[in-house]
Amino acid sequence: MVSGLGEVAAGLSKGALQPSELLEACLTRIAALDDKLHAFLRLTERTARAAAKAADLRRAARQPLSAIDGVPIALKDNFCMEGVETTCGSRILQGYVPPYDATAVARLEAAGAVIVGKLNMDEFAMGSSTENSAFGPTRNPWDLSRTPGGSSGGSAAAVAAGLVPGALGTDTGGSIRQPASLCGCVGLKPTYGRVSRYGVIAFASSLDQVGPLAPDVQGVALLLQSIAGQDERDQTSSARPVPSYGELLEKSVRGLTIGVPKELFAEGLDGQVERAVRAAMARLEEDGCTLKPISLPNAPHAIAAYYLVATAEASSNLARYDGVRFGHRAQADSLLEMYQATRAEGFGAEVKRRIMLGTYALSAGYYDAYYLRAQKVRTLIRRDFEQAFAAGVDAVVSPTCPTTAFRLGEKSGEPLAMYLSDVYTVPANLAGLPGISVPCGFDQGGLPIGVQLVGRPFDEGTLLRLARAAERGREQRTPEGF
Amino acid sequence: MLQPVIGLEVHAQLLTRTKIFCGCSTAFGAPPNTQVCPVCLGLPGALPALNRAVVELAVRAGKAFACRIAGRSVWSRKNYFYPDLPKGYQITQFDLPICAGGAVDVPGLRKVQLTRIHLEEDAGKSVHAEGGSEVDLNRSGVPLIEIVGEPVLRSSEEASEYLKALRLALVYLGVNDGNLEEGSFRCDANVSVHEPSAKLGTRVELKNINSFRFVRQAIDYEIARQVAALGRGERIIQETRLYDHEKNETRAMRSKEEANDYRYFPEPDLPPLVVSPAWIDAVQVPRLPNEITAGLLAAGVAPADARTIVGDPRLAALHARLGDPRRAAHFIVGELSRALNDREVNLDALAFEPAQVAEAWALQDAGTISSTGLKEVLAELIRTGKPPAQTVLERGLAQVQDLAALDAVVDAVLARYPSEAGKYQAGKKTLLGFLVGAAMKELKGKGNPSALNALFRARLGG
């Protein structure tokens, strides 16, 4: 089994690998191993085999559509794909088959990627453990008694277990970076607006962003390359040109300045996680980076602000699941009862909790105190980052997650404890900045640890460069049994 | 004496080919749910993308009514559950609308101040029938402007005049088709009553009024209901009432306590709407009905005729192309209106060209046809589009203009009626008509009457 998406792409390019062979190898591994993980909700074998055959021909003719032509990719189950059931991890969408493709999916397909299937997730991307999936949790390949993180837990587990060389996820408060960290793979949340959200089932529209997960930084760069760029169907997508990430990736990091925010190395941080992160920072310093202490004074308020903005938007975004046009519909005698029963039966506890929180935050008389105030905090957090960047910082470093992977059920009764596991990832979403998590070591139990880098808006290039450097010195392991 | 105070909110559908946030057609009357896509169906993952054409129409209306046009306006979500609202929220503008202030000039009344004009999407249509309800989402996402008037109207008559003026202005602007039956121009009314010395009374919102007549009836009913309630010592409660035109009454729909909390917040899927001053300047505003009326009056068109012509933009457009304003006005309120009233022709598919009307006039001016002949020529032109010269030929409408020929007839008439000729010369000038009539009879009606007049006068000495 090849170790990274970059290597897979190189193998395909040289003709050492064939897309169909590669797909069959993935399908075989999924069939053999996914019972243990439950990363996949469903496979798209038939269309994948057809796509791989077409890629075989292009590769044989040396006319690939892109560097990832023929690479098997899996999608978090909140990406709409024409003709393929898309549930968002929710009972309310069970059986729902979208009539159209998300832009990111269409772009992957246009680049020749072979879509293998749909991956498990916390219902409507609300959660940090994938335990909130209506279809059962996903397990962490490093320890099957532990969660892979979430909400893109299926994506991270599938990539970390080598079931697919790459996957797409979405990140609203850390949902790509946190599971990537807990599963020991690379996960990138691009700048808000870098990748189209069209066709991605919304959780919190002003925070959601599509991003790639792969075993290697190069793989993440290749996937970003194929999905980034403006989309007229998403008016929050940016017109800024997309650079060639592959070229930026190999540039030296010498002379770059990395900000070290004291607020993100504070209490609650596991000692082993901190040691691994600081070791990665030291390696970057050896490569010629400068570490500079900075302050993000408003970062401690990020979780509070995030859970108001995100739930407020979610309460509105999830109103369309009313049983009228698609998805689950409960039988009832009146319209109101139908609404109530449909939503009571269709949504899980965490989704209901967040809809109620968000509805409350937007209610007459509370809007100013909650939603508006949270938006003000958000502006302050963005300014904190702007000041750091203005002072010459190229990226801000922190742990991705305060701990390594936690046990299934460990936090599921304590929503607040679960929310706090997003403490380091949420500020990048509130500020709309790109963030990446790169594996940087293991704790004594052999669980992976990730380091997070947050960069300037649309400067994914620098982040990928730093991540590439951080990745070089790390210890390589594969999870036992995978 | 209690004084009514009325404010109107008008929803006008914008005349764009496609919907406000997707490329679906806005055409009326298609089979249910055939003009829909993931965006206007509110399918999971779909996002709105603004149709710039709607912005231009809103700005055009705003400029026409002298509103302040916002360089930056903001989309908001209005959240409520209803089966014909696919997303569970309506995308509208809330605290930062595209147009603020302004006024509508109402002929015979005064300027009626506007609060604002904002852009929003329409919901679908629910059809309630025995055994269940059905939803048609063809209308979902059709662009609207909501024109909110200040509460300054004092009677149902004023309200109706304001609405008529507003509707006509929007039609002239090319912003709205003014079609109340198809629901592309809809009105809600806020009605309250108060003692003029006291502050405004509690207002009641009336919904479901879809004709000018119903507006008057609904408001009159509501004013009477409120006056009677206050007379009994009751209090008016703030509520929404539905007008039932079959029973001519209003019924309580929901009170303020039961009112939806719409939980407005800025729409995160759409950036703020930014329009530059240069772009706003470049938006063209066609002439409004009041300006056109003033122009007609200045050209000598009678006020009643001007009202008729301006009352229908198609007539006004035709008038502008006919030349000679007074003659054109006579043609329109005369021959053309007759033909329209008799349903001989359709104003949307006239058979003739304006230049042909001018040709007919020229034939009369040259003396080729009489005024009676002109009427006949124009009637034929309106009905069939037949060229005037051809009608003159086919029907033998050309007048005898040869003076020698006319002179011979004058001779013959004078010889036949010597006593009448003598009486004329003795001062009974009214006999000229008799003599000319006799000559005309001789000429089978084709003599040029003014030439005959002149010949008789010359012969009989004035």
One digit per residue, the tens of pLDDT, for chain A of length 482 reads 447 999 999 999 999 999 999 999 999 999 999 999 999 999 999 999 999 999 999 999 999 999 999 999 999 999 999 999 999 999 999 999 999 999 999 999 999 999 999 999 999 999 999 999 999 999 999 999 999 999 999 999 999 999 999 999 999 999 999 999 999 999 999 999 999 999 999 999 999 999 999 999 999 999 999 999 999 999 999 999 999 999 999 899 999 999 999 999 988 899 999 999 999 999 999 999 999 999 999 999 999 999 999 999 999 999 999 999 999 999 999 999 999 999 999 999 999 999 999 999 999 999 999 999 999 999 999 999 999 999 999 999 999 999 999 999 999 888 888 888 899 999 999 999 999 999 999 999 999 999 999 999 999 999 999 999 999 878 889 999 99
Asked if A99 and A89 count as a contact pair (C-beta separation under 8 A), the reply is: no
Measure in Å the smallest separation between the Cα of A339 and chain B Cα atoms. Answer: 9
Q: What is the pLDDT of residue B154?
A: 96
Per DSSP, the three-state class of A45 is helix
Cis upstream peptide for A206 (omega within 30°)? no
Q: What is the pLDDT of residue B462?
A: 67
Q: How many CB atoms lie under 10 A from the CB of residue A262? A: 12
**Chain A nearest-CA residue for B85:** A320
Instruction: Please write down the long-range contacts of B368-374, taking CB distance under 8 Å and 24 or more positions apart.
Output: B368/B392, B368/B398, B368/B399, B368/B401, B369/B397, B369/B398, B369/B399, B370/B397, B370/B399, B370/B448, B370/B449, B373/B397, B373/B399
Residues on chain A bordering chain B, Cβ-to-Cβ distance under 8 angstroms? 78-80, 86, 88, 93, 96, 98-100, 102, 197-202, 204-206, 232-236, 312-313, 315-316, 318-320, 322, 324-326, 335, 339, 359, 362-364, 367, 371
Cα-flanking dihedrals φ and ψ of residue A43, to 5°?
-105, 155
pLDDT of B429 over the 90 cut: no
Q: Convert the pLDDT of each residue in B355-378 to its tens digit.
A: 999 999 999 998 888 888 899 999
Q: Convert the pLDDT of each residue in A396-426 to its tens digit.
A: 999 999 999 999 999 988 888 888 889 999 9
d(CA B39, CA B90): 13
Q: Which has the higher per-residue pLDDT, B406 or A19? A: A19
Which token pair is A155?
Answer: 């994506």
In order of start, what are the domains of chain B with their CATH numbers?
3-282 (no CATH), 287-331 (no CATH), 351-397 (no CATH), 403-460 (1.10.10.410)
Cα-flanking dihedrals φ and ψ of residue A380, to 5°?
-65, -40
Q: What is the ipTM of this complex?
A: 0.96
Contacts of A199 in chain B (CB under 8 A): 45-46
User: Given B49, B50, B89, which is nearest A316 (Cβ)?
Assistant: B89
Asked if A418 and A411 count as a contact pair (C-beta separation under 8 A), the reply is: yes
Mean of pLDDT values over B62-82: 97
Measure in Å the smallest separation between the Cα of A234 and chain B Cα atoms. Answer: 6
Determine the residue type at A430.
Answer: L
Contacts of A308 in chain B (CB under 8 A): none
Contacts of B23 in chain A (CB under 8 A): none
Size of interface A-B (CB pairs under 8 A): 100
Asked if B9 and B144 count as a contact pair (C-beta separation under 8 A), the reply is: no
Q: What is the pLDDT of residue A328?
A: 93
Which token pair is A284?
Answer: 């970057």
User: How many Å is the Cα radius of gyration of chain A?
Assistant: 21
Asked if A154 and A141 count as a contact pair (C-beta separation under 8 A), the reply is: no
Active site residues of A: 76, 151, 175
Asked if B16 and B55 count as a contact pair (C-beta separation under 8 A), the reply is: no
**Do A316 and B79 make contact, defined as CB atoms within 8 angstroms?**
yes
d(CA B269, CA B280): 24
Q: Write out B21-67 in H/E/C secondary structure.
A: CCCCECCCCCCCCCCCCCCCCCCCCCCCCCCHHHHHHHHHHHHHCCC
**Chain B nearest-CA residue for A334:** B132
Residue B330's alpha-carbon distances to B240, B300, B336, B359, in angstroms, are 48, 11, 9, 16
**Do A316 and B265 make contact, defined as CB atoms within 8 angstroms?**
yes
